[in-house]
């Protein structure tokens, strides 16, 4: 969720009544959208979190605070949060094959290259990365302005499948591989990979590991527990999406079939 902009000290007058609803069957009814969906579509947060913002009186419609859940708005209504007007954007879903030396963020105060630089000026919508890949990690990264889907894919409870191709600084001993498969303690919590095996039977420095954890630098930290350095790290699968026909540094829009699949993850 975005940071909230501090408001004025004076408390705005709340409108606890829902915005006038047209009679069922009218043409205007079809153009209306639930306020929580509008907020989620604007990329602010999920629908559930949007309901919380509405209940707390942090959302204005046409200049008035609205606290009634289930309120619907028209396309020409002005919806604002934290003093800023929200835009109901068309949803965009982009799959990127991230190269090294790019930061996984929308903005970088140090003016380093970000993953959004790779998209150029192809999108007027403001996109955000789903999760993170550190600067030296390559591979699949999803970018979107769908706040609700972003929250779902980032939460470990949904078990989003991620597979990494790891290049180590020395061959991984079979006993260490088996111990990692049993689980590794990270930040006081036991983390057990969904799967781990040698990626290349002729070179035991190459390992494939499948995880659904979203912890920061988790793959590198797993191998550091056994004194292995990660020389190269590439995410080859994310939520069922693969790098097929997607060269390093390139991106593509998701197909409608892929979008539907991601929204069905539960």
Active-site positions? Answer: 134
DSSP 8-state class, residue 58? -
Cα angle 259-265-266, degrees, rounded to a multiple of 5: 150
Contacts of 223 (CB under 8 A, 6+ apart): 166, 168, 172, 180, 229, 230
d(CA 38, CA 25): 21
> Considering only CA atoms, which of 158, 111, 137 is closest in space to residue 265?
158
d(CA 2, CA 80): 13
Cβ pair 239, 161 in contact under 8 A: yes
| Sign of the Cα pseudo-torsion (234, 236, 238, 243, in order) | positive
d(CA 214, CA 28): 43
| Residue 28: how many other CB atoms lie within 10 Å | 10
Cβ pair 204, 198 in contact under 8 A: yes
| Residue 120: how many other CB atoms lie within 10 Å | 8
Gap between the terminal Cα atoms of the chain: 21
Listed in sequence order, the DSSP H helices in 56-133 are none
């Amino acid at each position: 969720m975005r940071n909230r902009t501090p408001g004025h000290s004076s408390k705005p007058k709340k409108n606890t009544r829902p915005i006038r609803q047209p009679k069922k069957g009218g043409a205007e009814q079809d153009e209306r959208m639930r306020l929580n969906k509008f907020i989620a579509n604007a990329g602010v947060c999920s629908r559930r979190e949007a309901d919380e913002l509405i209940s707390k009186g942090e959302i204005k419609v046409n200049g008035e605070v609205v606290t009634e859940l289930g309120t619907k708005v028209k396309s020409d209504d002005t919806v604002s949060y934290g003093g800023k007007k929200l835009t109901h954007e068309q949803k965009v879903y982009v799959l990127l094959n991230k190269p090294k030396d790019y930061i996984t963020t929308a903005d970088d105060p140090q003016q380093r290259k970000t993953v959004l630089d790779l998209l150029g000026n192809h999108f007027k919508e403001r996109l955000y990365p789903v999760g993170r890949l550190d600067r030296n990690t390559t591979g699949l990264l999803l970018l979107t302005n769908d706040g609700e889907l972003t929250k779902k894919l980032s939460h470990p409870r949904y078990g989003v499948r991620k597979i990494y191709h790891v290049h180590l600084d020395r061959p991984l001993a079979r006993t260490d591989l088996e111990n990692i498969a049993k689980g590794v303690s990270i930040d006081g919590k036991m983390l057990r990979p969904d799967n781990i095996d040698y990626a290349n039977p002729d070179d035991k420095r190459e390992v494939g590991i499948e995880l659904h954890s979203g912890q920061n630098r988790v793959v590198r930290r797993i191998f550091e527990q056994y004194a292995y350095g990660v020389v190269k790290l590439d995410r080859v699968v994310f939520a069922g999406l693969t790098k097929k026909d997607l060269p390093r540094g390139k991106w593509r829009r998701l197909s409608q079939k892929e979008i539907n699949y991601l929204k069905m993850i539960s």
